[in-house]
Structure 1
C-alpha cells in the first residue's frame, strides 16, 4: 500500500507541476476502480461510467486543493461516492428509481439449504434498507472500511456513521425476525 501511495504522490505532484502525462497515468490507474465503486453503489453500468467521468472532471478541477497527495485514493473515492449518492438521491426524489436492488429468487425448481435461504433473506433485507444505511452496511461489512474511513468517504461524522450502522443492524434484525428467515 505504501508503494501505491508513493506512485499516487509522484503522479499527483507531477500533474500539479504541469505534466499532462501524469494525469493520463492517474486515469489509467484509477478509472476502472472508480467505475467499479460507482457501479457497486448505483448498480447501473452506464450510470457508473458517467459518474466516474463526472468525478474525473471534479478531480482535475480540484486536484490543486489536495494538500496531501498520499490521500489521493480516499479523496477521489469520496468524490465518486458523493456523486453516486447524489445520483441515488435524485432518483429517489424523482420517484423514477431505475436502480434495481431486488434479489430474484427462483425457488420453484431449486431447494435451498437453510444457510443459503438465510443468506438470500439477509441480502434481500439489506436491499430494502434506506440508501444511506445500505451504503454504510456495505462499506463496513463488504468493503471492510473502518467507521473513520466511512465517515471520511461519505463526509459525515463518525457518530453519524455509527448511528446509521446501528439502525441498519436493528432494521435487519427486525426484518429477519418478522420474516422468520422466510422458511
Structure 2
C-alpha cells in the first residue's frame, strides 16, 4: 500500500488538487481503532476479551482508556477502565488499511459502501463496525462476546474534499448517493 501510494497516488493526487509541492499532497497519518467496553464497570474480566481481540486485529498491545469523570447514572467512577484503543502508524498502518479494504469491509453483512458524510471537517474519516468478526484473524470459536469498534483514519489533508480524494484513490468503498 505504501509503494502504491508513492508510485500511483502521489502524482495523480498532486495534479488533481493542483498542488505545486509534493509534500503538500495528503497522506495517511495514522489509524486509530477504539473499542468501548461499557460492561467493564461491573465485570473486570470483560476487558480481557476486548484486549485480546484488539491485539489480534491491530498487531500490537492496546492501551486501556479510563474514565475522566465519575457518572453516578452509569455506576462509573473516575479512573475506571471503560475501553481500549490502538494507534497504528507506519507499515502497520498501511498493512491494516490494506486488510480493511481487501478482506474486512467486504465481509460486513449487507455492505453497500461507507457513508461519504463521515468526515470531521479536517480530512479525517471515522466509521463504526458492529462486530469484530469481519476481520479474518478473529476466530469465531475464541471470542466471548461480539463487540463493535470505531475506526478513525487520520490524514494530513486540510479539508474533507482532499481527504475524500485521497481515500477514493486508495479504492475506499464510498456509498453512492
TM-score, reference length from structure 2: 0.30
Higher helix share: 1
Q: Between the two structures, name the one with larger relative contact order (CA 8 Å, sep ≥ 6).
A: 2
TM-score, reference length from structure 1: 0.29
